[in-house]
Amino acid sequence: MNDQQLLDLVKQMTREEKIAQLLQLTGAFYEGFHDKELLTGPRAELGVSEETVNASGSALNLSGAKTAIQVQETYLKKNRLGIPLLIMADVVHGYKTIFPIPLAIGCSWDLPLAEQSAEIAARESAVSGIHVTFSPMVDLVRDPRWGRVMESTGEDPFLNSLYARAFVRGYQGQDLKGDKERLAACVKHFAAYGAPEGGREYNTVDMSERNLRESYLPGYKAAVEEGATMVMASFNTVDGIPASGNEKLMRGILRGEWGFDGVIISDWASIREMIAHGASEDDREAALRAIRAGIDIEMMTPCYVHHLDDLVNEGEIEENQIDEAVLRILQLKEKLGLFEQPHRAADPERENEVILSADHRKAAYELAVKSSVLLKNDGTLPLRAHSKVALVGPYAETNSILGWWSCEGNPQDATPLAPALRERMQEGKLSVASCGIETITGGELADMLEATESADVLVVALGEAAEMSGEGAARTNIQLPKAQLELVRRLKATGKPLAAVLFNGRPLDLAGLFEEADAVLEAWFPGTEGGAAIADLLLGRVNPSGRLSMSFPQSVGQVPVYYNHYSTGRPLKAGSDERYVSKYIDSPNEPLLPFGFGLSYTSFEYGELLVSSDRMTKEEPLTVQVTVTNTGQRAGIETVQLYVRDLSGEVVRPVRELKAFTRLSLQPGESGTAVFTLHEEQLRYHHSDLSFTSDPGAFRLYAGPNSRDTQEVAFQLIT
Ligand code: BGC
């Protein structure tokens, strides 16, 4: 259908039908959904009629080809104009083949693999009846207390934007209508949901517009530029106004400045939550603010359904404001090809073929390998072939390694670390004992200590439970649970080499582990193939190459601590014990592990940093290069990173900003050259009047293996 036909369809709809299009309910509300009991209870609670449910435009968290087909069929029988139901779900890091959590993917710095993970997630969920995913989540994060950092790709606006684009491409492909095994992508949570005060879930976000534009908006903008078809409003306030009623954000920036013409959806109940914010006195006012702001779909609350009709009758809004939202929803249905094929790709046979296929598992394995970050190693890793190994700790034998937001992922499809290691080691070389996450019984401790007795080297698999990160899981203490730290102490007392593997959803405060362990491998929640990937990494069958996309603090007291911070008038100089400088008297300023950091089993040596000129103009970019040699015994990947600092900004600029990176894959003894071109446009930023320009003057350029250990060169921008 073309736009005119869609407009004609809108004209045929009654106002009631139109308003119902703007409502989104969970699958539980629909007849044909597997859980029949849920049908009537929640409907009564929400106060919506059966007719409204039958006419509502979209459903969330409903999946499985058979269910989706059945729901759609029943729905269409009751829908007067034959407008199909749009089905959405949180497919965040895989559907049934679960990839590492997004923060881990962020650490891969591997955009093609990130894109492939989204493509696979799309294929599995599209054949299972889903049309739209509430992903990618591109909220920039600087505070590991916030549980949802696991859903983000990290603390850098440039890197996050690249991932945002990769995920959108992977989900949507080139043509949503022609390629039915893709999903429409809903980028979220617009805007700045990742900056809640104190890291506390759903808390206030308050920042300058300049900071918002500089650090927080680029990820969403990149997703929109890449063609994301939907945007989700966030729960939080931005400059005092809840996003769900924030006209400046939705109509001003998103639609006006960025030209976004897709669908905007609220977050779960976030329209009604404007009452709790103190920004609306009741549902009616909340509906008014949301529709005026430009929110098209209301998720899970009935403010629109109960009040839009009256608001039109009372002259508070124009009917065409409703029509506009309905048209966008119908356009999305058309874009997905639902009018012609309401079941789209839903197909139980295809489900059997593609879900957890060997190819999908292989991609999940690859990404789990690339996402793991070696944080410390004195040579304990990789494990030697002849060594006797004891594997102990809460993550030794569990298959609960999928992480929060693992959609339809089933732990039973994942292999735990112990069997994966056993399969790869000679018989009798591995002893295993495990324990709980927050408490360790005397018996468990005794078994673990016994397992260590005959071992030459100890591997302790530690971490947070999956539910300790994700939505609603902010923590003020981001250390490992006390019982695990006590376990580390006991293991250390054996005097045997100790390697730790971490399964967690946020950068942790590693006090009590980092110093004690001889090697630390950050595995995050690695997904379905995590066991195999981590076993291969431990045994050195593959070489770690992940790089942190979020800093690890020394302690929670430093938080937020991130690499692209500003300087002060009194910066702390290395080695200085001056009092009146910007510092803590009980902690270093620097994080424990900086952005971009990650080790390898091989070693890399950097040559001199070479720049084509010490002057850059608009016409003459700089060419920057550095040669890197693999000086170790194994093949490895080195991620060479390029940062800049503007030293005479009109407003102060971050001490370092990532501008480019490249991944060099080098055999032992091999050299490779990272070559970057740096243009004037890359030095532009938002000035005090929000204009986006560059400043002539002094700059510094840095290159190296992470944001800390860099070589530097000065240059001047001449404009
Ligand atoms: C989350 C969203 C999610 C939605 C639907 C909300 O609570 O904030 O990220 O997409 O639920 O499940």
Report the predicted TM-score, pTM, of the whole model to 2 decimal places.
0.98
Number of domains into which the chain is organized: 3
For atom 6 of ligand 1, the residue with the nearest CA is 268
Q: Give yes or no: residues 616 and 542 share one domain.
A: no
- Read off φ and ψ for residue 702, nearest 5 degrees: -130, 140
Kindly tell me if the per-residue pLDDT of 38 is higher than 80. no
Closest residue (by CA) to atom 10 of ligand 1? 134
User: Does the C-beta of 397 come closer than 6 Å to ligand 1?
Assistant: no
Cβ-proximal residues to 518 (8 Å cutoff; 6+ apart), any chain: 376, 377, 378, 379, 380, 497, 498, 499
Question: What pLDDT is recorded for position 37?
Answer: 56
Mean pLDDT estimate for the chain: 97
Residue pair 182/228 in contact by the 8 Å Cβ criterion = no
75 Cβ inside 6 Å of ligand 1: no
The domain that contains 301 carries what CATH number? 3.20.20.300
- What pLDDT is recorded for position 31? 77
Give the pLDDT confidence score for residue 97 in this predicted structure: 98
Statement to judge: residues 373 and 516 lie in one domain: yes
Evaluate whether 482 touches 436 at the Cβ level (below 8 Å). no
**Residue with CA at minimum distance from ligand 1 atom 11:** 268
Please tell me the distance between residue 228's alpha carbon and the centre of ligand 1 in angstroms.
17
Task: Return the pLDDT at 33.
Answer: 66
- Residue 45's pLDDT is 85
pLDDT for residue 41 is more than 90: no
> What span, in angstroms and rounded, lies between the C-alpha atoms of 278 and 273?
9
The residue to mutate among 24, 62, 90, having the most atoms of ligand 1 within 8 angstroms of its beta carbon, is 90
Q: Helix 111-127 and helix 358-371: axis angle, to 10°? A: 140
pLDDT at residue 134, as a whole number: 98
In-domain check, residue 258: yes
Q: For residue 489, what pLDDT is reported?
A: 98
The atom of ligand 1 lying closest to the CA of 189 is 9
Asked if 387 and 492 sit in the same domain, the reply is yes
Say if residue 434 is in the same domain as residue 489.
Answer: yes
Does 529 reside within a domain? yes
Calculated CA dihedral for residues 559, 560, 566, 571, nearest 10 degrees: 0
Same domain, 294 and 438: no
On whether the CB atoms of residues 711 and 606 are closer than 8 A, the answer is yes
Residue 640 covered by a domain: yes
Mind listing the pLDDT tens digit for each residue in 147-180? 999 999 999 999 999 999 999 999 999 999 999 9
* Cα 428 to ligand 1 centroid, rounded to whole Å: 47
Active site residue 509: no
Q: What pLDDT, in 10s, does the model give residues 579-608? A: 999 999 999 999 999 999 999 999 999 999
Q: Are strands 604-606 and 498-503 parallel, antiparallel or unpaired?
A: unpaired
Would the pLDDT of 35 be above 60? no
Task: Provide the pLDDT confidence category of residue 266 given band limits of 50, 70 and 90.
Answer: very high
CATH of the domain at 688: 2.60.40.10
Contact 364, 94 (CB under 8 A): yes
Look at residue 234 and tell me if it is in a domain: yes
Tell which one of 134, 151, 469 to mutate to probe ligand 1, the residue whose CB is within 8 A of the most ligand atoms. 134
Same domain, 244 and 370: no
| Same structural domain, 278 and 369 | no
Instruction: Find the CATH number of the domain harbouring 545.
Output: 3.40.50.1700
Which of these three, 533, 556, 579, is where a domain ends? Answer: 556
* Domain shared by 545 and 621, yes or no: no
Per-residue DSSP letter, 100: P
pLDDT at 42: 73
Residue 220 has pLDDT above 70, yes or no: yes
Look at residues 657, 676, 673 and name the one whose alpha carbon lies nearest to residue 665.
Answer: 673
Domain end marker among 311, 344, 377: 344
Task: From 519, 536, 556, give the residue that closes a domain.
Answer: 556
Domain that holds residue 687: 602-717
Q: Is residue 200 part of a domain?
A: no
Same domain as 551, residue 434: yes
For residue 212, the 8-state DSSP code is: I
Of 267, 270, 297, the residue with max ligand 1 atoms within 8 A of its CB, to mutate for a pocket test, comes to 267
* Percentage above 90 pLDDT, the chain: 96
| 652-688 pLDDT per residue, tens | 999 999 999 999 999 999 999 999 999 999 999 999 9
pLDDT (0 to 100) of residue 28:
86
- The DSSP secondary structure of 79-115, one letter per residue, reads -TT-PPPEEEE--SSBSSSBPPPHHHHHTT--HHHHH
**Contact of 243 with 190, CB cutoff 8 Å:** yes
Ligand 1 atom at shortest distance from the alpha carbon of 151? 9
Tokens 């468990």 belong to residue: 444
pLDDT digits (tens, 9 = 90+) for 171-193: 999 999 999 999 999 999 999 99
pLDDT of 34 > 60? The answer is no
**Does 97 fall in a domain?**
no
Indicate if 373 and 335 belong to the same structural domain: no
CA separation, residue 490 to residues 363, 445, 459 (Å): 38, 9, 13
Taking Cα atoms as reference points, which of 606, 597, 674, 611 lies closest to residue 644? Answer: 611
Partnered with residue 636 across adjacent β-strands are 666
Q: 90, 110, 139, 267: which is the annotated catalytic residue?
A: 267
512 and 424 co-located in one domain: yes
Q: For position 39, what pLDDT does the model report?
A: 58
Q: Does any domain span residue 404? A: yes
The answer on 527 and 674 residing in a single domain is: no
The per-residue pLDDT for range 352-410, each reduced to its tens digit, is 999 999 999 999 999 999 999 999 999 999 999 899 999 999 999 999 999 999 989 99
Q: Has residue 511 got a pLDDT over 80?
A: yes
CA-to-CA distance for 407 and 690, rounded, in angstroms? 40
Residue 3: the pLDDT is 95
Closest CA to 435 of 467, 494, 392: 392
In a domain, 671, yes or no: yes
Whether residue 36 is predicted with pLDDT greater than 60 in this model: the reply is no
For 129, the token pair is 């009846």
The whole-number pLDDT of residue 485 equals 98
Task: Report which of 337, 346, 352 is spatially closest to residue 70, judged by C-alpha positions.
Answer: 346
